């Protein structure tokens, strides 16, 4: 496992959501999923609707601002596992962890996981 460094955290904080978003779209669409499904996943995590997402993309907000404005889903802590060489539950920096939550959801979507599983819907 890779260790998260201060430099890594700072780099993530300064990246813009707009710069990464097209990669998310490409990743899920190349695996047969849709932009609408991607938005469903992002909305679940952040509370942003499509209109708000478009605004944040147009404003080229950093990930730091993106997650400051987000209303993080109370089940986000159920997102665990390894993404990009990092174990999510071991990441101490809150922002870096939130960005990795998003990466993990996009990854699960691209891998064809069922939406209920991705959105951590409890079997009641």
- Write the CA distances from 74 to 44, 70, 71, 119, integer angstroms: 10, 12, 9, 11
Longest pairwise C-alpha distance within the chain: 42
pLDDT in tens, the chain (124 residues): 777 899 999 999 999 999 999 999 999 999 999 999 999 999 999 999 999 999 999 999 999 999 999 999 999 999 999 998 899 999 999 999 999 999 999 999 999 999 999 998 765 4
pTM of the model: 0.93
Query: What is the C-alpha to C-alpha distance for residues 75 and 52, in angstroms, rounded to an integer?
Result: 21
pLDDT of residue 122: 61
Query: What is the C-alpha to C-alpha distance for residues 91 and 82, in angstroms, rounded to an integer?
Result: 11
DSSP designation for 62:
B
Q: How many CB atoms lie within 10 A of CB 1?
A: 8
> Do residues 4 and 93 make contact, with C-beta atoms less than 8 angstroms apart?
yes
Question: 73 is written with which tokens?
Answer: 């889903």
């Amino acid at each position: 496992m890779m260790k998260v460094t201060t430099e890594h955290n700072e780099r993530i904080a300064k990246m813009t959501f707009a710069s990464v978003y097209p990669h998310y779209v490409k990743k899920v669409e190349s695996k047969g999923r849709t932009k609408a499904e991607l938005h469903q996943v992002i909305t679940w995590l952040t509370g942003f609707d499509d209109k708000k997402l478009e605004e944040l993309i147009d404003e080229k907000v950093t990930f730091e601002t993106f997650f400051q404005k987000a209303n993080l889903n109370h089940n986000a802590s159920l997102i665990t596992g390894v993404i990009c060489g990092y174990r999510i539950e071991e990441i101490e920096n809150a922002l870096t962890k939130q960005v990795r939550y998003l990466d993990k959801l996009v990854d699960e979507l691209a891998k064809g996981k069922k939406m209920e599983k991705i959105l951590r819907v409890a079997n009641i």
